[in-house]
Structure 1
C-alpha cells in the first residue's frame, strides 16, 4: 500500500497554460493536459441540463467536452447535447438512439476532432455528428456496445467495447479498419476508459486488467502488460482498468482495481515502478508528480520518477464516518490554476494544495459529480449526476 512508503520530497509543477478547449476525454488525446489556467474563488456562472442523469439502471459514463465555443455531453440515454459555453443555452440536441430502441438506457460518449463530433453508444453504434446543428452524418453498427468516450486521432475513431475489444473506425465513413482483442472477462466494467494516443501508439486499458500499446496503423500490439496484483483475493480478482491511461513525456501511467498503479516506458513497455494502490479514477500527471485518487478515499501525490509517496491526504470515505454509513465516491483529481480540485458524488468539491496535500477549502455543489470535469478558457465545467452541466469561473 501507500502508508508504509517513505514520505516527503518537494513537488515541482509546470507553469500554468491557457487552454482554449477540452475536446476529448482526458482533455487531450494523451490525457495529460498539464496545468490549465483557472482563477481563484470559483463561482457558478451558469447551469444547463443535458437530459437524463444517472439513476436506477442508467448511468452517465463520460464527462463534458469543450470545443469551438460549445460544451458537448451525452446523457444517460445517449442523447447528445450542445450548450453555448458562454451562457449554457442549448444549441441543439441529437437523439442517437435508433427509432426502434428509444427506451435503451446505456449512455454514450463523444469526442471532438477536426471540426467534427463523434459519438459512440451503449446501443452498439458509432456516428459522426455535425457540431453546428447536430445532424448525424455517417452511422455504423458496432459488434458490441460502447461505454464512455472514444478517442479520435490519426484519422481513426478508437472505440472500446464491452467485449474487451478496441475497434478503430475511419473518421471518413466509419468503416472498420482493425480490431484489437484483449482477454475476455465475465464481469462487466461500468465505464470503459478512452485510450490514450501518442504518435503511432494507442495505449488502452481493459476489463481484464490488460494494458496494451497498440500500433495505430494496423492494430498490432507493440507490448502488453497486466495490472492484476500478485496477491490476488478480494477485489483483486477484478483487475479491471476503469481509469484512462495517461501518456506524458514518454511514460505511461495506469491504475487498476486489482491494486496496482504502474509507470511504464511508452516505447518498450518496461515497468519503471509500481505501487500497490487501487483506483478507478484517472490519475493526473504534471511536472514531477502523479496525483491519484485511491479507491479508499485517499488523495495521493506520487513522484514521477520513483513512484514514492510525496504526500497522502484522506478526503473521507463516508459522509457519516462514525457509523461508517453513506460511502463517498470521489472523482478524478484535476490540477488547474495552482490547485487540485476533486468533486464527489455527495455534492462537495475539495480544493487541495498540490505541494503538500493540505485541503484549503471545500465547496458545496448542487448535485454530486464524479466524472472528470473539463477546464477550458479559464472555466471549470462539471457534469452532475442529475445531468446538469455546471460552469464555474474564478472571481479572483
Structure 2
C-alpha cells in the first residue's frame, strides 16, 4: 500500500489534477504542465505549455488522457489565453503535435483512447490523438436575434461525442439556457439534442448508458445516452443559513467558472447502482441510478465543490479548505479536516490515496483519516456523529474547523 503524505505547491493557480497510470498530471497558470508520481509526489517531468495566464481567478482546464498522449491547453499567441492544444507524451512530456486555434480560445477538453475533443467559441472539433489531425469539426447551432451558442463541457463515450451549447447574448451575460447535444463519433453528425431553459453553468458527465447534467438552477437531469430521452430529474433547492463566509466572495469552480454559494449542481460520481451528486447549497445527494429516488442526503453547511468515494467513505471538499469524510451507509461523520487551501476543487481516489486539488495546492492524503500531507499543520481531526436525535441537521459553524 502506498504511504500517504506528499504535497505539491505552486505560486500560480493549478488545474484540477488528472490521476491515471500511477501519475498525476496538472496544468499551471505559470505556463507549464507538471507530472508527478502518484504515490510519492516526486516530479517526473515538466513541459512548457505557453505563456502564463493573465487572469488570476480562473485555473486552467485540466489535462485529458488519450492512450499515451496527454492533451493540454496552451497559449502560443502571447496573450496567456488558451489558444491551442498540445499533445504530449505521458512518459517524458515530449511534444507530439500542436493544434492551433485562430481568433478564438479553448472552452473545453475531453478524450479517451480513440479521440481528443476540443470545444471553442467557433465549434467542436475531433482530433486524432496520435498526430493531432482534425477528423471533423461542427459549428455551434444556429440561433436567432441577439443570441449566440458556444460549446463547452465536451465528453466522449461509446459511439457519441457530447457537449453543452450555451445560449447567450453576445454583449451581456443574459442566460438563454443551453442545449445538450450528441454527435456521431465517426462523422460529427448530430444524433440528438435537447434544450433546457435557464440554468447558468451546466456541467456534463457521461457514465455507462447515462448522460448527467447539473446546472445553476439546482437541476440534475439524467438522459439516456443513445436517445437523449430524459430518464429522470431531481432538484437541489436553495438553502438558507449557509455560513456567511461561504457566500460573500466568488470562487473558481473546477470547470473554471466563477460561482457563489447557491444551487449549482456540479459533477457527480457514478457507481453501478448509485449516483452521488454535490451541490453548492451544501448538500450531497445519494440517488438511485435507475429511478432518481433520493436515498440519502449529507450536509456540510458550505458549498460542496468536489466529491469522491472510497470503499466505505464519501469524501466532500468545499471552500475554506474544508474536507469531510462521511460513512457511505449513514450520515455519520468519520473525520474532517480544514486544509490550508482556499478551496478544494477536485478529489480523486486512486492507488489507495485520496488526491486533493485546490487553488495552488495538490496533495495525497490517507482516505481513512485525511492525514499525511500536512504533518506540521495542526488541523483538527474528529470522529463523531451528528448530535443524537438530529441526524438530518446541517453542520453549522459551531461544528466546523473555523469555529
- The answer, yes or no, to whether TM exceeds 0.5 is yes
2:99 & 2:356 partners in 1: Cα distance?
30
Query: Which of the numbers 207, 211, 226 marks the counterpart of 2:235?
Result: 226
Count matched residues. Answer: 308
Give secondary structure in 2 for the equivalent of 1:42: coil
Q: Counterpart of 2:349? A: 335
C-alpha distance in 2 between matches for 1:86 and 1:251: 35
Give the corresponding residue for 1:207. 216
Distance 1:239 1:312, change over 3 A: same
Q: TM-score, normalised by structure 1?
A: 0.69
Please give the residue correspondences for 1:1-396 in structure 2 after superposition, counting only pairs within 5 Å. 20=21, 40-52=39-51, 54-56=53-55, 59-60=58-59, 62-75=61-74, 76-95=81-100, 97=101, 99=102, 102=103, 104-105=104-105, 107-113=106-112, 115-121=114-120, 123-143=121-141, 144-147=149-152, 149-162=153-166, 163-185=177-199, 188-189=200-201, 192-198=202-208, 200-231=209-240, 235=247, 238-241=262-265, 243-277=266-300, 278-279=302-303, 281-316=305-340, 328-346=342-360, 348-361=361-374
Q: Give 1:244 shift.
A: 1.4
Greater relative contact order, per chain length (Cα 8 Å cut-off, separation 6+): 1
Deviations, residues 163-202 of structure 1 (Å, cap 9, x unaligned): 43321111122122222333404xx53xx5331322x221
Consecutive unaligned residues of structure 2, counting only runs of 5 or more, are 1-18, 24-36, 75-80, 142-148, 167-176, 248-259, 377-403
Change (3 A) 1:60 1:237: closer
Task: Please give the alpha-carbon distance, in whole angstroms, between the structure 1 residues aligned to 2:219 and 2:327.
Answer: 24
Shift of 1:229: 3.1
| Structure 1: gaps of 5 or more residues | 1-17, 23-37, 318-327, 364-396
Distance verdict in 2 for CA 1:68–1:350, change over 3 Å: closer
Give 1 or 2 for the bigger CA radius of gyration: 2
TM-superposition CA deviations, 1:64-120 (whole Å, max 9, x none): 12232221122442411111111111111101x3x4xx2x34x33222235222222
Going from structure 1 to structure 2, the CA distance change for 1:62 and 1:132 (only over 3 Å counts) comes to same
Instruction: Measure the CA separation in 1 of the matches of 2:113 and 2:352.
Output: 30
When normalised by structure 2's length, the TM-score is 0.68
Task: Please give the alpha-carbon distance, in whole angstroms, between the structure 2 residues aligned to 1:57 and 1:316.
Answer: 19
CA RMSD in angstroms comes to 3.0
